A and B are shown apart, each in its own frame.
Chain A
Amino acid sequence: MEYQISSKAKRTIIATVVLGLILFIVGAILDSDSEQFQTRLLSNFLIDGFFFFAIALGALFFLALQYATETGWYVAIKRVIEGVASWVVVGIGILLVLFLALTFMDGGYVTNAHGHHVGHIYQWMDPQIVEHDAMIAGKAPFLTKPFFWVVTVLYFTVYFLFYRGFRKRSLQEDIEGGTKIHYKNYVKGALFLVLFGYFSSTSSWHWIMSIDAHWFSTLFGWYTFGGMWCTSMTVIMLLIIYLKRNGYLEQVNDSHIHDVGKWIFATSFLWSYLFFSQYMLYWYADIPEEVIYYVQRIDQYPVIYWGMFIINFTIPMLILMSREAKRNPGILMFVCFIIIIGHWGDVYMLITPGSMGEHGSIGLIEVGLFMTFAGVFTYYILNTLTKAPLMPKNHPYLDESKHHEI
Chain B
Amino acid sequence: MSDRVIYATYDDDHTLLEGAKKLVADGVHITDVFSPFPIHGIDPVIGVKHTRMGIVAMMFAVTGLMLAVIGFQYFMIADWPMNIGGKPSFTLLQNFPSFVPIAFEFTVLFAAHGMALVYFLRNKTLPGMPADNPYPRNTDDRFTMEIRLSDNHDMSSEDLHAKIKQTGIVEIEEKDYVVIK
Contact = CB atoms under 8 A, between A and B. Distances in A.
Contacts of A280: 97-98, 100-101
A206 B98 CA distance: 31
B41 A405 contact: yes
7 contacts: A284-B97, A284-B98, A285-B85, A286-B86, A322-B54, A323-B50, A323-B54
Interface in B77-135: 85-87, 97-98, 100-101
Interface in A368-406: 405
Contacts of B40: 405
Nearest to A405: B41
Interface in A233-258: none
Nearest to A280: B97
Contacts of B98: 280, 284
A169 to B, nearest CB: 31
Interface in B41-91: 41, 50, 54, 58, 85-87
Interface of B: 40-41, 50, 54, 58, 85-87, 97-98, 100-101
B51 to A, nearest CB: 10
A295 to B, nearest CB: 14
A279 interface: yes
A227 B175 CA distance: 61
A368 to B, nearest CB: 37
Contact of B97 (A283, A322, A323, A405): A283
A286 B97 contact: no
A336 to B, nearest CB: 22
A276 interface: yes
A405 B39 CA distance: 13
Nearest to A279: B97
A285 B85 CA distance: 8
Contacts of A322: 54
A181 B40 CA distance: 31
A284 B100 contact: no
Nearest to A285: B85
A276 B96 CA distance: 12
Contacts of B58: 321
A294 to B, nearest CB: 11
B41 A286 contact: no
A108 to B, nearest CB: 35
A284 B41 contact: no
A77 to B, nearest CB: 21
Nearest to A276: B100
Contacts of B50: 323
Contacts of B97: 276, 279-280, 283-284
Contacts of A323: 50, 54
A391 B101 CA distance: 44
B140 to A, nearest CB: 27
Given A279-B97, A405-B40, 14 more contacts: A276-B97, A276-B100, A280-B97, A280-B98, A280-B101, A284-B85, A284-B87, A285-B85, A286-B85, A286-B86, A321-B58, A322-B54, A323-B50, A405-B41
Interface in A258-299: 276, 279-280, 283-286
Contacts of B85: 284-286
Contacts of A283: 97
Contacts of B100: 276, 280
A374 to B, nearest CB: 34
Nearest to A406: B40
Contacts of B101: 280
Contacts of B54: 322-323
Contacts of A405: 40-41
B98 to A, nearest CB: 7
Nearest to A273: B104
A356 B87 CA distance: 30
Nearest to A283: B97
Ranked nearest first, the 9 interchain pairs of A and B with the lowest CB-CB distance are: A283-B97, A280-B97, A284-B85, A276-B100, A284-B98, A405-B41, A280-B100, A286-B86, A284-B87
Contacts of A284: 85, 87, 97-98
Nearest to A277: B101
A285 B41 CA distance: 52
Contacts of B41: 405
A285 B101 CA distance: 16
Contacts of A286: 85-87
A68 to B, nearest CB: 25
A323 B54 CA distance: 9
A280 B97 CA distance: 6
A238 B156 CA distance: 54
Contacts of A285: 85
B134 to A, nearest CB: 29
A353 B58 CA distance: 38
A280 B87 CA distance: 12
Contacts of A276: 97, 100
A286 B98 CA distance: 13
A280 B54 CA distance: 30
B143 to A, nearest CB: 20
A323 B52 CA distance: 11
A361 to B, nearest CB: 28
A276 B98 CA distance: 11
A286 B87 CA distance: 9
